[in-house]
Chain A
C-alpha cells in the first residue's frame, strides 16, 4: 500500500514536470481564459442592462459566478485523453500496463499532476480575473467552507469522465474527435458560460440529469449563495453517487480494454 502510494506520487510529480516543460502553453491558456472572462462578463452585463435581478440572480452575482466558472472550467481541458491515445497508437501503453500499479490509477495520478499545475497558475491569475471580470467574498461562512469540498468532488468527477473518454482509444485508436466533443459539451452543460438557472426548462432537465454540472455550476453556485442548505446537501449526495457509479464503470471498461490489449498481442 505504502509502495503503491509512493508510485502514484511519483506519477503526480512527473505530470507536474511535464506540464512545466510547456510553460508557454500554460501562459497561453491563462490568457485565453482571461479573454473569455472579459467577453462573457461584458455580454452578460449588456444583457442585464436596466434590470437588477433576473431569474433570482443579480448582475453582480452573475458576474462573480461567470468569473469563477470560467476559472473552474480550466480543469475540463486536460491533456490526459490525448496522452492516453498517443500511447495506445505508439504501443507505449504496454509499458504502462506492465507496471506494478493499476493503469486507471496511474492515469488519475497523471490527471492530478496536470491539475496541480493548472490550479497553481489559476491561483496566480485570480487577481487579474477579478479585475477583468469581478470577484467578491463567498456568500457566507458555510458557502466559503463548502466551496472547496464541492470543487474537489467536481475535480474527481471530471477526472473519471476524462479517464473514461481516454479509454475509448483502446477501441478507436484515434480519439481527437470525442475528446474535443467532450470538452465543449461538458463545459456548456456544466454551466461554464451560462448559470444553469437561465437554461430553458428542457435543457435544464438534461443538464440536471447529467454529472457535468457538479464540475462547474454546483461549486460556483454555492459560492455566490444561489445553492445552499438542503439543495447543497442533496447536490453533494448526488455528486458522490456519480463518483461511485463512474468508478465502477471505469473498472468495468478498463477490464474490457485490458483484454483487448492482450488480444492484440501487446
Chain B
C-alpha cells in the first residue's frame, strides 16, 4: 500500500514537472498569464481594500482580519489549483479522447488528469495568495502558539480539499454527461465569490446553507473566525470551525470514491 502510494506520488511529480516545462515554453505568455491570475484574485481584494479604506470595518471585521480571511481562502484555492488544475479540464480530456489514453497507462487516472494542464494561471493565484496573506500577518492580531500554527496549516490544506472535492465530483459527472462546463463555472464561482468574505454579512439562513449544503464556509470563514476569535457572530456552532481539516479529508475521499465509481461506467465518446 505504502509502496504503491509512493509510486503514485513519484509519477505525479514527474508528470507535473513535465506539464510545467511545457507551459514555460511560451515565454511571452508566462508573465502575462501569471499576471492575469494575480489580477483575477487581486481585483477582488482591491475591492475590499477600497471599501475598508472608506468604512473602516465591515460587519465588525477590520481590514487586517478580512485580509487574513481572504489570504487564507486564496492559499487554499491556489493549493488545489497548483496541484490539481487539470481535473477542471475533464470535459476536454474526455471529448478529445485523452482520458482513453490515461486509462491505458499504468498510473492513477486522476493523477494523470490532475497534471494534464498547460496553464500557469494557478501560479498567479498563488503569488497573490502569498502577498495578501503576508500583508495580513503583519496587520492582523493572531495567536502564534505552535498549536495555532499547526491548525492553520491543516485548515489551509482542508480548505483546498473542500474545493478540490467539488471539482473531482464534477469530473466524475463529466464521465457521464460530458458537458459540465457551465455547472463547474457556477460551483467554483460560488466558492470564489462567497468564500473570501465574512459570511456574517448574510442572515443566518444563508450562513447555514453555506455551511451544511454547499460547504463554502469551511474553506476559510469558519477556521478564520476561530483563529481570529470572531466566533461571536456565527449562526452555526463555533466548534465547526475546528473541523475544516476533517471535513476536507472526508469530502475529498468521498469525491474520489465517486469519481472511481463513475469511471467504471466510462464509455468514451467513440474515438
A interface with B by C-beta (< 8 Å): 24-25, 27-29, 31-32, 35-36, 39-40, 42-49, 54-55, 172, 174, 176-181, 184-185, 187-188, 193-194, 198-200, 203
Cβ–Cβ < 8 Å partners of B26 in chain A: 174
- In the complex the two chains form, what is the Cα distance from A199 to B46 in whole Å? 10
A26 to chain B minimum Cβ distance, whole angstroms, is 9
- In the complex the two chains form, what is the Cα distance from A178 to B28 in whole Å? 11
Contact string, B20-61, partner A, CB cutoff 8 A, digits 1/0?
000000101101111111011011001100111111011100
A189 to chain B minimum Cβ distance, whole angstroms, is 9
How many chain B residues touch the partner (CB < 8 A)? Answer: 40
State whether A193 touches B29 (Cβ < 8 A): no
State whether A39 touches B193 (Cβ < 8 A): yes
State whether A198 touches B54 (Cβ < 8 A): yes
- In the complex the two chains form, what is the Cα distance from A3 to B25 in whole Å? 45
Cβ–Cβ < 8 Å partners of B256 in chain A: none
- In the complex the two chains form, what is the Cα distance from A24 to B186 in whole Å? 11
State whether A32 touches B39 (Cβ < 8 A): no
State whether B47 touches A193 (Cβ < 8 A): yes
One of A31, A184, A198, A203 near B40 (C-beta < 8 A): A184
Chain B residues 79-97 with CB under 8 Å of chain A are none
B189 contacts the other chain (CB 8 A): yes
Cβ–Cβ < 8 Å partners of A188 in chain B: 43, 46-47
> Which secondary structure dominates where chain B touches chain A?
helix
State whether A54 touches B54 (Cβ < 8 A): yes
Chain A to chain B: the 8 pairs with minimum beta-carbon distance, closest first: A177-B32, A180-B36, A28-B182, A177-B33, A47-B55, A46-B201, A184-B43, A24-B182
- In the complex the two chains form, what is the Cα distance from A28 to B43 in whole Å? 21
B185 contacts the other chain (CB 8 A): yes
Contact string, B94-131, partner A, CB cutoff 8 A, digits 1/0?
00000000000000000000000000010000000000
One of A36, A43, A180, A200 near B53 (C-beta < 8 A): A200
B151 contacts the other chain (CB 8 A): no
Of B186, B200, B201, most A-chain CB atoms within 10 Å:
B201
Report if A35-B190 is in contact (Cβ < 8 Å); known contacts: A54-B55, A177-B29: yes
Cβ–Cβ < 8 Å partners of A200 in chain B: 50, 53
State whether A177 touches B36 (Cβ < 8 A): yes
One of A24, A35, A55, A193 near B54 (C-beta < 8 A): A55
- In the complex the two chains form, what is the Cα distance from A29 to B52 in whole Å? 28
One of A25, A32, A48, A178 near B36 (C-beta < 8 A): A178
Cβ–Cβ < 8 Å partners of B258 in chain A: none
Kindly count the residue-residue contacts between A and B in the assembled complex, taking CB atoms under 8 Å apart. Answer: 101
Cβ–Cβ < 8 Å partners of B190 in chain A: 35
Cβ–Cβ < 8 Å partners of A54 in chain B: 54-55
B167 to chain A minimum Cβ distance, whole angstroms, is 16
State whether A194 touches B50 (Cβ < 8 A): yes
- In the complex the two chains form, what is the Cα distance from A35 to B202 in whole Å? 13
- Given pairs A49-B59, A174-B29, 7 additional interface contacts (CB within 8 A): A32-B189, A46-B201, A47-B52, A54-B54, A55-B54, A180-B37, A193-B47
Cβ–Cβ < 8 Å partners of B29 in chain A: 172, 174, 176-177
- In the complex the two chains form, what is the Cα distance from A188 to B40 in whole Å? 10
Of A32, A174, A177, A185, most B-chain CB atoms within 10 Å:
A177
Report if A44-B51 is in contact (Cβ < 8 Å); known contacts: A28-B182, A184-B43: yes
- In the complex the two chains form, what is the Cα distance from A40 to B50 in whole Å? 13
A61 to chain B minimum Cβ distance, whole angstroms, is 15
Chain B residues 177-196 with CB under 8 Å of chain A are 179, 181-183, 185-186, 189-190, 193-194
State whether A181 touches B36 (Cβ < 8 A): yes
- In the complex the two chains form, what is the Cα distance from A102 to B208 in whole Å? 56
Cβ–Cβ < 8 Å partners of B46 in chain A: 188
Q: List 9 A-B contacts (CB under 8 A).
A: A28-B181, A32-B185, A43-B51, A43-B58, A43-B197, A47-B57, A178-B36, A180-B37, A188-B46
